[in-house]
Amino acid sequence: GENVEQHPSTLSVQEGDSAVIKCTYSDSASNYFPWYKQELGKRPQLIIDIRSNVGEKKDQRIAVTLNKTAKHFSLHITETQPEDSAVYFCAASIVNGNQFYFGTGTSLTVIP
């Protein structure tokens, strides 16, 4: 089955700096990679996703890159703000499939 690894587990950055979270996956059949943000005590929310037919996707300050050959994908947050502080989860899935495999999460703290 699929195995998703996520690093780092914790990350602290100064406000305004960039944050990068990396995930690797093992199953080459995975072709859909969503990222979720979970604020303390709240539900995970989808913030961005990427499919394997593209290498990069950007939405304002958030971007995701995908390297299919190396089987890794990354979340990039630029100009971080305190409200970006949360736990971020990556996941891997297959288009038309209903199995999601989550990474272990990264606790991001943005220091004002």
Binding residues for other proteins, rule: CB under 8 A, are 32, 34, 36, 41-46, 49, 51, 87, 89, 93, 95-100, 102-105, 107
Q: What is the DSSP secondary structure assignment for residue 104, as one 8-state letter? A: -
- Least CB distance to other proteins at residue 79 (A): 25
Q: What is the bridge-based pairing of β-strands 19-25 and 4-7?
A: antiparallel
| Closest among 22, 30, 21 to 68, alpha carbons compared | 30
- Least CB distance to other proteins at residue 17 (A): 23
- Least CB distance to other proteins at residue 14 (A): 22
Kindly tell me which of 57 and 78 has the beta carbon lying closer to other proteins. Answer: 57
DSSP 44-100: -EEEEEEETT-SEEEETTEEEEEETTTTEEEEEE-S--GGG-EEEEEEEE-TT---E
